[in-house]
A and B are shown apart, each in its own frame.
Chain A
Amino acid sequence: MDTISISAASGMRARMESLEMLANNLANTETGGYKGDREFYSLYSSLESTADPGTGASTQLPVIESHWTDFAQGDLRVTTNPLDFAVEGEGLFAVDTPRGVRYTRNGSFRVSAAGAIVTADGSTLRARGGGKITLDANGTVEVGTDGTVRQNGQTLGQLDLVTFDRDALNKEASNYFAASGNAPGRPAKGAILQGKVESSNVSPAESAVRLVAIMRQFEMLQKAMTIGSDLNRASIEQVARVAA
C-alpha cells in the first residue's frame, strides 16, 4: 500500500476505537459514580524512521496508545435516601469483593440481611482500619461529612475513603476500580454527603460534539484513502501507458 493509505487506515482504526470508547461513556450516562474514559493519541514510529529521521517518512502512524479516566467530580443528585453517600472531592469508597478490595465512587448502598452496609452486588463497604459497619434494624442512620456513622446516638465506625495516583487505578466492571499491585492507597480528604448520589461525569452535550468530530475526521480519512487509491490507479493506468 502507498503511504497515504497506510496513514489513513491507521487513523481510521484509531477513530473507530475512539467511537467505541465514546459509546461506552454514553451508555453509562445514568450509571452512578461512573467516570468517563478518554483516549490518548500518540504516534507510532517504526525503528527505521527513528534511526534515520530524514528518510523514513512512511512509518509514522497515529494510534491510540492508552486511555485515561477523567476523575472529575460528577453532579450530585439529592435522593434523601439515608444509605446514599456521595463523595465530594477526592477519594473512593473501599469495598470488600470476593476478588479482593475494590474501590468505587458509586455511593448507593443498602443493608444486607445481617445488617452490614453493602453495594448493589452485595459486597461489604469497608470501615477505616478494615472491618465493616453493622447497622441495627431500627433507628435512623446518620453519616457525618468525615464519614462517621452514628445510629441511636452511638458511633458505629467511620467509612474509609482512599485515594491513589491517577495511573494506579484500573477500571473493572460494576463501577469498581482495582489498584495495580493491590496498593493500599492513601487516606483521602473528600467529604461524604449523606442522602446524595454522584451521577456519571459524562456530559452528553460534549459527547455529542465529540461524536460529530470523530465522524467527520473518519470521513476525511476515508477521502484521503480514496485519493491514495486514485493516485495508484492513475500511476498504473496512465504513467505506464506507452504513447502510441
Chain B
Amino acid sequence: MIRALYSAASGMTAQQLNIDNIANNLANANTAGYKTRRAQFQDLLYQNLVAPGSSAGQSTVVPTGLQLGLGTRTVSNEIIFQQGDFASTSNPLDLVIQGKGFFQIKMASGDQGYTRAGSFHLDATGSFVTPEGDQLQPQITIPPNAQSINVANDGTVSYTLPGQTQTQNAGQITLANFQNPAGLNSLGRNLFQPTDASGAATVGTAGGADGLGGLLQGYLEQSNVSVVDQFINLITSQRAYEANSKVVKAADEMYQQVNSLRQ
C-alpha cells in the first residue's frame, strides 16, 4: 500500500515537472531563436515479489513471477532543434540560419557562447553585437558612414560607402555545429554552451559543403514552440496528475478501512 502511495507521488512529481517545462516553453513562445524542450520519463525499479523462474512445486516453475513497479522519474528534458518559422523584419541586421548551425558569440565573461537568435545590432565601434552587447565572432565591423549592409547566403558581409558604387568586404560570418546539439547547456539569454555530451564545436562556412545552413538577411527565426502542441501536453499532463492524486486518495481510503477493522 505504501508502494501505491509512493508510486502515485512519483507520478505527481513527474507531471509537476512536465508542467513546469510546458510553462517555460509557452512563456518563450515569442522568444526569437528559442528551442522547445521536451520532458522525458522512465519507469523506476521493479520489486520482485515472486521471482520469475522460481519453483512453484516439485516439477513446475513460475513462468512470469510477480513484479511490482515503483513509479516514474523524469530522465531529461531535451532540446528539440527543429527549425522555427521565419518572420520578415526588413532589418538588414536580422539574420536567420536556414538549417543547422549556430552563431558564435563572445560573452562578457570571455567564454564562447552559441545562439540561434540572429537579431544583431551595431555597437559604438560598429561591430555586430547581440541585444545584450555580446560580440559576434568572427568580429565584423561596419564604418559609421556605410550606406547599406548586405549579408550573402555564405555569410559574407559587404557594405557600400557614400559616393561609391563598389562594395566593400567587411568579413565573413562563420557558423558552428555540434555532433549532438541536444546535449548543449542552456545559459539563458538565448545562449548555449558546449558540454561533454554535445561534443566540441566544428566551425564551417554557412550554406556550403559543410552541411551548415545558409544565412538569410532581413528575417528572424521565431521560437519553434507550437502553442497547440504545448496545450495538448498541458491537458494530458494535468489529467495524469489528477489520476495519480485519485490513486493517493484510493490508497488512503483503503488504509482507513484497514484501520477500522478492529472495532
Contact = CB atoms under 8 A, between A and B. Distances in A.
B126 interface: no
B76 A120 contact: yes
Contacts of A79: 38, 80
Contacts of B3: 20, 23
B166 interface: no
Q: Per DSSP, are chain B's interface residues mostly helix, strand or loop, or mixed?
A: mixed
Interface string B50-78: 10110000000011111111111001101
B234 to A, nearest CB: 12
Given A110-B78, A170-B65, 15 more contacts: A12-B258, A16-B254, A19-B247, A19-B251, A20-B1, A20-B7, A22-B4, A24-B72, A30-B15, A66-B50, A110-B183, A113-B199, A115-B180, A218-B254, A219-B257
A31 B7 contact: no
A154 interface: no
List 6 A-B pairs, minimum CB-CB distance, nearest first.
A138-B211, A27-B11, A24-B69, A113-B199, A23-B7, A23-B4
Contacts of B116: none
Interface stretch (B85-93, B137-145, B149-157, B236-244): B236-244
B64 A34 contact: no
Contacts of B67: 37, 67, 170-171
Given A37-B67, A167-B64, A174 B11 contact: no
A137 interface: yes
Contacts of A113: 179-180, 183, 196-199
Given A112-B197, A171-B67, A204-B239, A19 B258 contact: no
B240 A29 contact: yes
Contact of B243 (A26, A111, A167): A26
Contact of B182 (A22, A30, A110, A115): A110
Interface string B149-170: 0000000000000000000000
A33 B69 CA distance: 15
Contacts of B1: 16, 19-20
A138 B1 CA distance: 51
A114 B179 contact: yes
A204 B243 CA distance: 7
A150 to B, nearest CB: 15
Interface stretch (A125-133, A182-190, A207-215): A207-215
Contacts of B62: 65-66
B100 A138 contact: yes
Given A23-B71, A31-B72, A171-B43, A65 B66 contact: yes
A148 interface: no
Interface stretch (A51-59, A89-97, A221-229): A221-229
A32 B251 contact: no
Contact of A27 (B10, B50, B64): B10
B250 A214 contact: yes
Interface in B73-126: 75-76, 78, 80, 82, 100
Interface of A: 12, 15-17, 19-32, 34, 37, 40, 64-68, 79-81, 106, 108, 110-115, 120-121, 136-139, 152, 167, 170-175, 180, 204, 207-208, 211, 214-215, 218-219, 222, 225-226, 229
A227 B66 CA distance: 31
A106 B42 CA distance: 9
Contacts of B14: 27, 30
B66 A64 contact: yes
B70 A26 contact: no
A37 to B, nearest CB: 7
A115 B7 contact: no
A116 B240 CA distance: 33
Contact of B43 (A23, A34, A204, A226): A34
A139 B32 CA distance: 24
B8 interface: yes
Interface in B175-193: 177-180, 182-183
A54 B211 CA distance: 81
Nearest to B63: A167
23 contacts: A12-B258, A17-B66, A19-B247, A19-B250, A23-B71, A23-B244, A24-B43, A26-B243, A27-B10, A27-B244, A30-B14, A113-B179, A120-B42, A121-B42, A137-B178, A137-B179, A171-B46, A172-B46, A174-B43, A175-B43, A180-B53, A208-B243, A215-B250
Contact of B72 (A27, A137, A170, A171): A27
A106 B72 CA distance: 14
